[in-house]
Structure 1
Amino acid sequence: MQNFPYPGKPVRGSTTGKPTMALFDLLGRRWAMGVIWQLNLCGPCTFRELQSRCETISPAVLNARIKELREALLLERCEQGYQVSELGKQLTTLLSPFPEFSEKWAESLASLDKTTEPNNECD
């Protein structure tokens, strides 16, 4: 039984369950990206360590995300607790440009805030 958005089945944003939409649905769940990001960034760790790394995550949410991400083959158990799987590593490689992009995006928003008033033409 799948407890995560599964390709080929209806998911948020797609009645057909296109694989991309199923992945976006999974990664869009609360703390899913944070869990993957922390394990990729800092390496394998126990449940308690991961909860500490994620700071405000509740044990129930962390447990649910770990279960879903393991079923989705993005995380796996290891001697140290949990780690990103090979498939999860491929995903994090695809996401590796995000930090640089997010910094540029934040700078653009900050400079926009300083130079212009909001455009409310459509209001």
Structure 2
Amino acid sequence: MRSASGAKPSRGQADAANEPMLATMELIGQRWILRVLWELEPGCLGFLELRRRMGNCSSSMLSTRLQQLQNAGLIVKKSDKSYELTTAGHELGDALQSVWDWSQRWTELVTPAIDDSE
């Protein structure tokens, strides 16, 4: 894929100002980032509840991911110490809706193939 200008994207670490798509992929491609966004989509959660929902994500990893998402402006830590999505976080969720839709169609395609192989 190329940018609108036709320039080939860099293979190094992306700069959000110059290569926003690559910077976005680097952020959301990290383990647990999308899961945190998924869990916060319905509403605010405190750290302990979020940690419980995250399964085998360690507390230190969750803290790191929450800090990254705050730095990226996708979540905010409220005065009661709970976390919630910002407007940008909700917009990213909206953008990922097509991935959700695709995953539902894909599951329907591969499930029969998996069942037939057994």
Letter aligned with residue 60 of structure 2: A
The alignment status of 1:68 with 2:65, answered yes or no, reads no
Root mean square deviation, CA, Å: 1.9
Letter aligned with residue 100 of structure 1: D
Q: Give the structure 2 partner of residue 32 of structure 1.
A: 33
- Measure the CA separation in 1 of the matches of 2:59 and 2:89: 22
Letter aligned with residue 57 of structure 1: C
- Measure the CA separation in 2 of the matches of 1:57 and 1:16: 25
- Structure 2 unaligned runs (5+)? 1-9
- How far the C-alpha of 1:103 sits from its partner, in A, is 1.6
- Label 1:52 to 1:115 Cα distance change in 2 as closer, same or farther (>3 A): closer
- Label 1:44 to 1:14 Cα distance change in 2 as closer, same or farther (>3 A): same
C-alpha contact (below 8 Å) 2:76/2:83 kept by paired residues: yes
Letter aligned with residue 57 of structure 2: I
Worse overlay, 90-99 or 24-33: 90-99
Count of matched residue pairs = 103
Match of residue 11, structure 2, among 8, 14, 35: 14
1:1-123 correspondence runs (5 A) = 14-15=11-12, 17=14, 18-41=19-42, 43-80=43-80, 81-113=82-114
TM-score by length of 1: 0.74
Worse overlay, 104-113 or 26-35: 104-113
Q: Give the structure 1 partner of residue 5 of structure 2.
A: none
TM-score by length of 2: 0.77
Moved over 6 A (4+): none
